[in-house]
Amino acid sequence: MHNNNRASIVHQIRYALGHPGRISPHLRRLTRNTWLRLRTRDHIGYYRAVMRSDTARGSESAVGSRSHERWLAMGRLQFDYLVRHGLRPDHRLLEIGCGNLRAGRLFIDYLDTGNYYGVDISPDILIAAQDTIVGHGLRDKLPHLMPVGDLRLAALPDRAFDVVHAHSVFSHSPRHVIEECFQHVGRIMKPAGWFDFTFDRTEGEEHQVLGEDFYYRTATLVALAGEHGLQATFMDDWEKLPSKQSKIRITLRPSGDG
């Protein structure tokens, strides 16, 4: 959880004084992102361009892992959590923002053949995801990977998924992208299904940094889900795990509950 507004000048000066080695990479990122912003129409186009640039440097760092060991560990953390919470091989799982299958490779291996669906806005990371499928010998599990241009999930059928999972996706999403997901995700979930997503939590002022990292209050996301007829629960047990992000679980309100 972060209480500081990382976008504020005071925070940035304090941070720069404490971490002088990070000033020049930050300025390089700021310059690149400003350029990408000028060349793209909206957040999705912009973030897709960020992912293209990041993936060209390495797909594991592009999804946020500093080393291969961290990549393996962060995938394992996501997988173990869902299994502890009742994910079964016969479940059908949709992963939103699946990246290069950091956790997806474990889901694919565990689930029955054909039960894993991954969507992502970045064609570049989805190509890297195919390398993960080949490298981990997962071809025979027939995973489905789809590039998407938005989160309306329009190509997916009604009531198809037992579990929907999005790790470190809303931490890179402005409010309207999250809201679009909330508008549509209920349609593709089975009535008893659940949707877990992580987010960068602040108990201070909501803010964003470089158009890449977005910090929300729990109450904001819970209320937004409620506006779309979804029940949102803050997952306390996730807080004990080694992740900087927090997790919320979305379920469908029983019909007749408004």
Ligand X SMILES: C[S@@+](CC[C@H](N)C(=O)[O-])C[C@H]1O[C@@H](n2cnc3c(N)ncnc32)[C@H](O)[C@@H]1O
Judged by CB under 6 A, the stretch of 20-28, 93-101, 107-115, 231-239 that binds ligand X is 93-101
One-letter-per-residue 3-state SS of 34-59: HHHHHHCCCHHHHHHHHHHHHHHHCH
The 125-144 contact track toward ligand X, x by CB under 6 A, reads: x-------------------
Q: Which amino acid is at 210?
A: L
State which residue, 120 or 162, has the beta carbon closest to ligand X. 120
Q: How many CA atoms lie within 13 A of 102 on its CB side?
A: 29
Q: What is the three-class DSSP state of 185?
A: helix
The H-assigned helical ranges of 158-208 are 175-188
Q: Which is nearer to ligand X, 51 or 163 (CB)?
A: 51
Identify residue 64 by its one-letter amino acid code.
G
Candidates 5, 59, 64, 117; binder of ligand X (CB under 6 A) is 64
Query: Should residue 97 be labelled a site residue for ligand X when binding is judged by CB under 6 A?
Result: yes
Interface residue with ligand X among 5, 33, 36, 47 (CB under 6 A) is 47
Is residue 136 packed enough to be buried (19+ CB in 10 Å), middle (13-18) or exposed (0-12)? middle
Nearest to 119 by CA among 156, 171, 83: 156
Could you tell me which stretch among 12-20, 22-30, 116-124, 184-192 binds ligand X (CB under 6 A)?
Answer: 116-124
Is the CB of 9 or the CB of 66 nearer to ligand X? 66
Q: Which stretch binds ligand X (CB under 6 A): 8-16, 91-99, 214-222, 235-243?
A: 91-99
Among positions 106, 169, 185, 225, the unique one binding ligand X when judged by CB under 6 A: 169
Query: What separation, in Å, do the N-terminal and C-terminal C-alpha atoms of the chain show?
Result: 32
**From the CB of 118, what's the least distance to ligand X, in Å?**
9
Which spans of this chain sit near ligand X (rule: CB under 6 A)?
47, 51, 63-64, 96-99, 102-103, 119-122, 125, 148, 151, 167-169, 172-173, 177
